[in-house]
Structure 1
Amino acid sequence: MSNLDSSLPLAGVRILDLSRVLAGPWCAMVLGDLGAEVIKVEHPKRGDDTRDWGIRVGTTETAYFNSVNRNKRSVCLDLQTAEGQQIARDLARQSDVVIQNFKFGGAEKLGLGYEQLKEGHEDLIYCSISGYDRHGPEAARPGYDVVLQGEAGLMALNGNADQPPLKFGVAAVDLFTGMYSAQAVLAALFQRQETGKGRHVEMALFDCGLMITSYYGLESMLMGEDPPRYGNAHPSIVPYGVFDAQDGPLVIAVGNNGQYERFCREVIERPDLFDDDRYRTNLVRAAHRETLVPELKREIASRPRALLLERLTRAGIPCGEVLGLHRALTSTRASQGGLLTTFEHPEAGSTHVLAPPYRFDGARLPVRSAPPQLGEGTSEVLQSLLGLSAERLSQLKAEGVV
């Protein structure tokens, strides 16, 4: 395809993305960012569900869809038709990796399950993403991020102690599952170089959601109960979190006792808060946070943010402004880093696309193509990969297959 770059790490790898919504498409986009050719299969009329979520961009795209579908081609197939299923199987035979997140058993009903596709294609890497363990009693349960955040204990550890359970601002379980899935696919691709054989990668949202409880999860097991919630504060480090200056919030992360001494002497000019035996080390500070933190908050609130940031920086203490999302995206830091790019759009004029976070040999990996309009690659992909003629494509379009 025209947007391929042979210098990228996954150049020459082809991904057939049969997934939709977030976790599966995120996995495929990560692989596309790294240089793989990604063919996204969508329904001819509806497309991916997320083409109808959030703020519209042109006729067939939304900001939500665009956030997880850069560096892909869109091919429209009605997988409820025998012809559409056969074309998908033909594309799978031309692909290194297949990603799917159909309801349990759905891929098999379409003739697109792992056992069906690997026949004659033993080096196929096939990634199934589901809500729950595909080998357990809940295999058929659908997986939704907000439900999984509740069931994995993430809501219970998020927010302040006096608040009800709170979901993360983004669909964290979906996003982490997509990243974990991409890691597993990369491992399978690496192993295939040695064995010549593919693998069936199986990922569950609940499993990934539980994994990202990380240190909170292990502390909960040691305590035998839920850990307390600290909101923007840290369970073990004081002072650490968001504080209100005279004119706005900032983040202060005092990571060790040396930093704390400089914080007291040089930033808030309260050496007595270091000399006090209750606050000399982090362990005792954490134990006496109820008396210490109100004092720190008063001192911070009495000073302008710019002064505090200047003093904190000079003292070598991690700190930063709390920015709104729009300010963060339009900041000099984001601009200089090339983290947001703009593409021409045939209907909207232009559209913003987030850039991949990866750098190789000092250069950020490029956004090779903007998120696709619905079906923009159907004719080119099916002609170039499967050799379908213009006449056959016209026939399939008239039948509603593509």
Structure 2
Amino acid sequence: MFNQTASLPLAGVRVLDISRVLAGPWCAMVLGDLGAEVIKVEHPERGDDTRDWGLRVGSTETAYFNSVNRNKRSVTLDLQKAEGQRLLRELAAKSDVVIQNFKFGGAEKLGLGYEQLKEGQEDLIYCSISGYDRTGPEAARPGYDLVIQGETGLMALNGEAGQPPLKFGVAAVDLFTGMYSAQAVLAALYERQRTGKGRHIEMALFDCGLMITSYYGLEALIKGEDPPRYGNAHPSIMPYGVFDASDGSLVIAVGNNHQFGRFCREVIERPDIVEDERFRTNIDRAANREALVPRLLQEIKARKREVLLERLERAGIPCGTVLGLHEALTSQRTQAGGLVAIQPHPEGGHMHVLAPPYRFDGERPPVRLGPPVLGEGTYDVLRSLLGVPDKDIDRLKAEGVV
């Protein structure tokens, strides 16, 4: 039934993805990339919300949907109907992992909560993703990436000094939550091999969003106030950011004091700067930022980008050009790495899909299944996995269950 690659780490693991939008589907996609069989359950008419977000691909997909749903099959079930719930429970009984992000208490109302599904299936791994701590007073609050970015202080650290709070360009909290959730599922699968028992994993967008604040968060606690915002610059590493040469922009990331010495002597030919006591260490340079930055900007602006890049590379200092998104996706580096796959599409002929970022023994896992057309796997999965005859599936379809 499934197009599996037996050599992938999660081959033989079945995941039932009853989540929507981004964090849950991202978690399930990661597991699918690693070899798991992923069955994505969607509403028969609407499908996942993201099938209606962004640029259209065919009649039921969009670029947004496709970005988080490769390596999955789509099965449609109306979980508001008793037969839909029954079929879901039967699918769960055949699965190793269930991922859901219903509103708090919603899965339980449908008879699909952890305590309900684990009866007779003590080895079930069940991942619940919500906006806030499910044990706290805000458990019932819906969670949205934009709101969480505001509430966790992420907007306050993003952007340029003196400008309004700024969100990340992508839904960073959702994506990190999906990755953290996948990590937790992998840990539970590993533990299950030893104990034979499953786990109920509970993930909250707020918790994961707060983790993203990382060193900025710890600095805020040490100082007792918000750290300054530096835009493309770094709070404690100098010089580190986007700079304008005479003919274009480039990224320079001087990572330590030895590199700074080479930068001054070999790249901008100003040994006097590194010999200045105010600029000897990263801590010194950060403290004397206002005196240092104008000098660096002047020297970089006086030189052509290619000259700077050649000198930086020769000196072993991290650097690069600033590309547009389309330029980056179509670059020789991206193509050589096989990071963009072209998959067949039943309506549009073909579609672009980002490839998994992993390599195992030198090989990148293939995109085994392109993002699915709504309900493409319903007959196949119900027939092969649950033994439901075609005539019964036809009846269920006529009744709006599938």
Give the CA deviation at 1:5: 1.4
Measured in 2, the distance between the counterparts of 1:388 and 1:146 equals 42
Give the CA deviation at 1:2: 3.4
Measured in 2, the distance between the counterparts of 1:117 and 1:57 equals 35
Q: Look up the match of 2:39.
A: 39
The amino acid across from 2:269 in the alignment is E
**Deviating more after overlay: 373-382 vs 236-245:** 236-245
The amino acid across from 2:73 in the alignment is R
Alignment of 1:347-362 (within 5 A): 347-362=347-362
- Please say if 1:303 is aligned against 2:303: yes
Measured in 1, the distance between the counterparts of 2:205 and 2:282 equals 36
The amino acid across from 2:31 in the alignment is L
Q: Look up the match of 2:154.
A: 154
The amino acid across from 2:281 in the alignment is T
Measured in 2, the distance between the counterparts of 1:263 and 1:318 equals 11
C-alpha deviations, 1:112-167, integer Å up to 9, x for none? 00010000111100000000000000000000000000001100011111111100
Q: Look up the match of 2:16.
A: 16
Measured in 1, the distance between the counterparts of 2:2 and 2:147 equals 40
Contact preservation (8 Å) 2:241, 2:252: yes
Measured in 2, the distance between the counterparts of 1:284 and 1:221 equals 22
The amino acid across from 1:301 in the alignment is K
- Please say if 1:88 is aligned against 2:97: no
Contact preservation (8 Å) 2:2, 2:37: no
- Please say if 1:204 is aligned against 2:240: no
Q: Which runs of 5+ in 1 are unaligned?
A: none
Identity %: 79
Alignment of 1:239-278 (within 5 A): 239-278=239-278
Q: Look up the match of 2:109.
A: 109
Measured in 2, the distance between the counterparts of 1:279 and 1:195 equals 56
The amino acid across from 2:18 in the alignment is L
Measured in 1, the distance between the counterparts of 2:150 and 2:2 equals 43
Q: Look up the match of 2:76.
A: 76
Q: Look up the match of 1:329.
A: 329
Structure 2-normalised TM-score?
Answer: 0.99
Give the CA deviation at 1:200: 0.3
- Please say if 1:291 is aligned against 2:298: no
Q: Look up the match of 1:123.
A: 123
| SS of equivalent residue, structure 1 residue 342 | strand
Give the CA deviation at 1:24: 0.1
| SS of equivalent residue, structure 1 residue 320 | strand
Measured in 2, the distance between the counterparts of 1:257 and 1:132 equals 42
Measured in 1, the distance between the counterparts of 2:40 and 2:255 equals 45
Q: Look up the match of 2:185.
A: 185
Give the CA deviation at 1:348: 1.3
- Between Structure 1 and Structure 2, how many residues are aligned? 402
**Deviating more after overlay: 30-39 vs 236-245:** 236-245
Measured in 2, the distance between the counterparts of 1:283 and 1:134 equals 41
Give the CA deviation at 1:232: 0.8
Give the CA deviation at 1:280: 2.2
Measured in 2, the distance between the counterparts of 1:357 and 1:235 equals 29
Give the CA deviation at 1:318: 0.7
Q: Look up the match of 2:379.
A: 379
The amino acid across from 2:180 in the alignment is Y
| SS of equivalent residue, structure 2 residue 341 | strand
Measured in 1, the distance between the counterparts of 2:261 and 2:398 equals 75
Q: Look up the match of 2:27.
A: 27
The amino acid across from 1:49 in the alignment is D
| SS of equivalent residue, structure 2 residue 347 | coil
**Deviating more after overlay: 262-271 vs 226-235:** 262-271
**Deviating more after overlay: 262-271 vs 228-237:** 262-271
Give the CA deviation at 1:261: 1.5
C-alpha deviations, 1:195-223, integer Å up to 9, x for none? 11111000000000001111111111111
| SS of equivalent residue, structure 1 residue 359 | coil
Give the CA deviation at 1:67: 0.2
Q: Which runs of 5+ in 2 are unaligned?
A: none
Measured in 1, the distance between the counterparts of 2:48 and 2:142 equals 17
Measured in 1, the distance between the counterparts of 2:2 and 2:23 equals 27
Alignment of 1:48-67 (within 5 A): 48-67=48-67
Give the CA deviation at 1:281: 2.2
Q: Look up the match of 2:401.
A: 401
Measured in 1, the distance between the counterparts of 2:299 and 2:154 equals 33
Measured in 2, the distance between the counterparts of 1:71 and 1:344 equals 13
Measured in 1, the distance between the counterparts of 2:97 and 2:306 equals 51
| SS of equivalent residue, structure 1 residue 401 | coil
Measured in 1, the distance between the counterparts of 2:207 and 2:245 equals 40
**Deviating more after overlay: 111-120 vs 240-249:** 240-249
Q: Compute the RMSD of aligned alpha carbons.
A: 0.8
| SS of equivalent residue, structure 1 residue 364 | coil
Q: Look up the match of 2:314.
A: 314
Alignment of 1:213-228 (within 5 A): 213-228=213-228
Give the CA deviation at 1:246: 1.5
Measured in 2, the distance between the counterparts of 1:344 and 1:124 equals 34
Give the CA deviation at 1:255: 1.4
Measured in 2, the distance between the counterparts of 1:188 and 1:148 equals 27
Contact preservation (8 Å) 2:238, 2:286: yes
